[in-house]
Every structure is written in C-alpha cells, then in structure tokens.
Amino acid sequence: MSASDNSTPSNNAELQVYRASVLYFTADPAQHSNAYAWHEDGLLLTSAGQVVAAGDYQQLKATLPEGQEIQDYRGNIIMPGFIDTHVHYPQTDMLGSPSPGLLPWLENYVFPTERRCSDPAYATEVASFFLDELLRCGTTTAMVYSTVHAHSVDAFFNESEARNLRMVTGKVLMDRNCPDFLRDTAESGIRDTEILIKKWHKRGRQLYAITPRFAPTSTDAQMQLAGELAAQYPDVYLQTHLAENTDEVAWVKSLYPEARSYLDVYEKFGMLRPLSMYGHSIWIDDEDRRRMAETKSAIAVCPTSNLFLGSGLFDFERADALNVPLSLASDVGGGTSFSMLQTMNEAYKVARMRGTYLPALRMFYMATLGNARSMQLEKKIGHFAPGTEADFIILDPKATPLLARRTANTNSLDELLFALAMLGDDRSVKATYAAGKRVYQR
C-alpha cells in the first residue's frame, strides 16, 4: 500500500476516476524487494491534469463524492505512460531500411530522409504522425532528435504542445563529416540552439536538449561551444550517441588519437553532466562506466536498433555493477518498433545473450519510473504519487487471442507482465492519457 492510497480528492468538479488493476513503481526492483504498488481492483483519481490518488478500490471509493462517475476499465491495467529516452522523429519514413551497418545506413538512408525536413510542411506532417504513433503505443514522453534545421524543432514542439505532451527535443548539430545539405557551422548551430532554448525550454511541458549528433560530425569548435552552452544552461538536457558500433569507435579513435576513450572525448568538452543522455554506449569499458555514474550521465539502451544494425549486445551486468543510470529506448528509425513492449522483448533477449536476466518487473520499471529517473523527471512523471502529471495508459492483457490465452494462465504479476512484454505490442494499448486527457483510444 502506498502513501497515496488514502488521499482525499480535491476540486471535485474536475475529478476523474478510473477503475482497473493499478500498477506503478516506487523503486528499482533490481535493488528493492518492495518496489511497486499493485492493486488488482484499483482506482486512479486525477484532477486538473494531475494525479490525486491511486490505490485500492474498496478503500478509495469511500472518499469519492456522491454520484461520482467512474470510468470502468476492469480487466485491464492502468499504469504510468511509457517513456522513451532516444528516438528520431525525422527517421520515421525510413524505418526498416536495409544496410550492412551503421555508417552506410546513415549515408544511404538517414541523411537523405532528414534532408526532407528542409521543408517545414513536411517536418510538421511527420512530427504529427510520429507523435500519434507514440501515443498509439502508449509512450507519453520521449527524448527526441530533430534535424539540423531549426524549424524541425519548431514543428515538433508545436505538435507536441497542441497535444499537451511532456516531450524533449533539440536541433541536431553537425558541421563536418556529413552532407552539405545537412551541415551547419559551429557558430550558427549554437546560435540557433540558444534561440530555441529561450523559445521552448520549459514552455508548458516542452523541454530542450542540446543535440550534437555524435563526436565525428561536430568539429572541436562546435563541441567546445556546445559544452559551454550546456554549462550556461544547466537545466537543459544534452543528448548524443556513444560507442554504438566498432567501426564508429575506430573512427572516433582516428579523429581523437589522444583521447583515452570515446567517452573521454565528450568529457573533454564538458558534456558529462546530469541531464545528459548517451544513446547505445555498448563498446565502453569500466572506467567509462565509473565516469558516467560519477557524473550522473545516463545511458539509453536501444536493443531493437542494436540487433537490427548488428551493433552489439549491451552489457547490463557491468552497467548495474557500476551503478550507471540506465534507461530503455526504441531508437526509431534504427529501432524497428515504436512499442516499448517490443523494446522490452528485445532487451530481454539481449540480456540473455550476455548471460544475464531481466525480470519483467525490472523492464516495466525501466520503461516508466526508471526512465523518468534517468531524465531526472521523477517528480513529474513515471509514477502515481499525488501531484504528479496524469500521464497514464490502459494496457489490455487480452488484446489478441494468443495474449488472452496466455495471460489467462499466469500465476504471478511478474509472469503476467512478462507475457505482455513478450507477446504484446501496440494492440495491447487500449487508451493513452496525457495530463489527464485521453489522447488515444484503440
């Protein structure tokens, strides 16, 4: 039972009440035995876009105003909306493109597709589709890459703001080793970034991320300016890629022969810090992991992308041993699904191939409270404490005939969630709510 269970609703005129099984996490199941709240017959109470209470139906029903309408989702699971910490909205249209590896994939598919966002109308249309697809899959918050075009950020945030979503994005910085049609300069990239920070960061539910694509596509001058900007705006995110595959690591070594490691390049430019998110981080060593833990720099684990591109298998065991902040991410369009359930599916297999095991409770924690913690947003999203933002989803354990048959024969919560992670996908999401408002219904 959580502290929120006996809260009394306020502002009854705006009270919304939902009945179903209720699940949310209070701690990391890998570190605590009592890490979650589960109410098989539960209620979630929201008002004015925030959580009022979550708990047992029999206890909370007595606190409800007489005649209060209850939206009945019994047979389903209410849980916080999924969070995706690394995804590229401009790559939506080239998802599932064939390639022998990361670097030719960038050249042949990613860069030509991102070029299309030079047209603001196209950027707006693809941002709209992308956000609707996230919501259809139950993802209510994401750390998103835009393109080098400043208006691609405006397009994304305008669409996100219209849906009142808690989202993060940033203009990609690239001033070398990329096509001319996607190249900025060290100065123009940082100037545009600062303008966008002032325009969008903390405007409503929008948050900004300084976004150098990765070390090989930014000159030392651009990296230096990006690090200085990150120091100037410590409450702004920073996102980039790190050690995704061995060819990339070798390329960085040739560009920075004096650096101890790929991560050391980012540290040299002041980019290891709280609110930084490093995509992939497969080919790193324990010294890198220690530095990430010490600086509260988080890793976005992208299993579907890493398997699709043959990049490598993430080492959960070493990351956990050294207390690196971990999160789970789709990495569309390297990733092959917007669904965080499918992302869990592949994360489980990656862990098994490395000789470790991810229980379902750990995976669902990572996709909700764990990802919120990696973004330092746990005071706002990722769980159901009173006053948090009412971003939540309705999961249907009977969404397909096979899933219904399997979940009818589960004997524990972990087994039920495991079946959802292995057999579920976008069809398992019955409804998605953002700030207390339904933004998707199957």
52 and 121 inside one domain = no
74 and 137 inside one domain = no
Structural domains in the chain (count): 2
- Contacts of residue 118, defined as CB under 8 A and 6 or more positions apart, other chains included, come to 149, 181
SS3 state at 22: strand
Residue 373 has pLDDT above 70, yes or no: yes
Strand partners, 194: none
- Contacts of residue 78, defined as CB under 8 A and 6 or more positions apart, other chains included, come to 18, 20, 21, 22, 23, 42, 44, 392, 393, 394, 395
62 token code pair: 């007595």
DSSP state for residue 389 in the 8-state scheme: B
> What CATH number corresponds to the domain at position 366?
3.20.20.140
- Predicted local confidence at residue 243, as pLDDT: 98
- Predicted local confidence at residue 101, as pLDDT: 81
- Predicted local confidence at residue 2, as pLDDT: 38
Helix axes 413-423, 340-353, angle to 10 degrees: 100
Q: Which of 201, 196, 199 is nearest to 184 (CA)?
A: 196
Percent of the chain with pLDDT over 90: 95
Contact status, residue 244 vs residue 311, Cβ threshold 8 Å:
yes
Q: CA 347, CA 173: separation in Å to the nearest integer?
A: 29
Q: Which of 319, 340, 374 is the last residue of a domain?
A: 374
Instruction: Read off the amino acid at residue 434.
Output: A
- Predicted local confidence at residue 270, as pLDDT: 97
110 and 257 inside one domain = yes
30 and 99 inside one domain = no
62 and 140 inside one domain = no
- Predicted local confidence at residue 102, as pLDDT: 82
Which element (helix H / strand E) includes 38? strand 36-47
pLDDT digits (tens, 9 = 90+) for 224-252: 999 999 999 999 999 999 999 999 999 99
Total-model pTM: 0.96
Q: Pairing relation of β-strands 298-301 and 82-88?
A: unpaired
244 and 392 inside one domain = no
Domain that holds residue 53: 3-81+383-441
Query: Would you place residue 7 in the very low, low, confident or very high pLDDT band (cuts 50, 70, 90)?
Result: very low
Residue 9 has pLDDT above 60, yes or no: no
End-to-end CA distance of the chain: 31
> What CATH number corresponds to the domain at position 13?
2.30.40.10
Angle at 375 between CA 278 and CA 111, to 5 degrees: 40
Q: CA 217, CA 177: separation in Å to the nearest integer?
A: 5
299 and 314 inside one domain = yes
396 and 312 inside one domain = no
DSSP per-residue letters across 321-363: HTT--EEE---TTTSS-S-HHHHHHHHHHHHHHTT----HHHH
- Contacts of residue 102, defined as CB under 8 A and 6 or more positions apart, other chains included, come to 244, 245, 247, 248, 309, 311, 334
pLDDT digits (tens, 9 = 90+) for 162-214: 999 999 999 999 999 999 999 999 999 999 999 999 999 999 999 999 999 99
Query: Would you place residue 397 in the very low, low, confident or very high pLDDT band (cuts 50, 70, 90)?
Result: very high
Q: CA 349, CA 298: separation in Å to the nearest integer?
A: 22
Provide the strand spans (E) within 194-254. 206-212, 237-242
Residue 17 has pLDDT above 60, yes or no: yes
SS3 state at 145: strand
241 and 354 inside one domain = yes
103 and 152 inside one domain = yes
77 and 87 inside one domain = no
Q: What is the mean predicted confidence (pLDDT) over 411-424?
A: 97
Percentage helix, strand, coil, to 5, in the chain? 45, 25, 35
Q: CA 381, CA 83: separation in Å to the nearest integer?
A: 9
177 phi/psi in degrees, rounded to 5: 50, 40
Q: Which of 335, 353, 374 is the last residue of a domain?
A: 374
pLDDT digits (tens, 9 = 90+) for 281-340: 999 999 999 999 999 999 999 999 999 999 999 999 999 999 999 999 999 999 999 999
Residue 75 has pLDDT above 90, yes or no: yes
To the nearest whole number, what is the mean pLDDT of the chain? 95
423 and 324 inside one domain = no
Contact status, residue 145 vs residue 90, Cβ threshold 8 Å:
yes
Q: Which of 374, 399, 423 is the last residue of a domain?
A: 374
Q: CA 314, CA 346: separation in Å to the nearest integer?
A: 11
- Predicted local confidence at residue 12, as pLDDT: 46
pLDDT digits (tens, 9 = 90+) for 87-137: 999 999 999 999 888 888 889 999 999 999 999 999 999 999 999 999 999
- Contacts of residue 321, defined as CB under 8 A and 6 or more positions apart, other chains included, come to none
- Between the alpha carbon of residue 399 and those of residues 79, 164, 297, 406, the distances in Å are 16, 27, 37, 11
Report the Cα 95 to chain-centroid distance in Å. 18
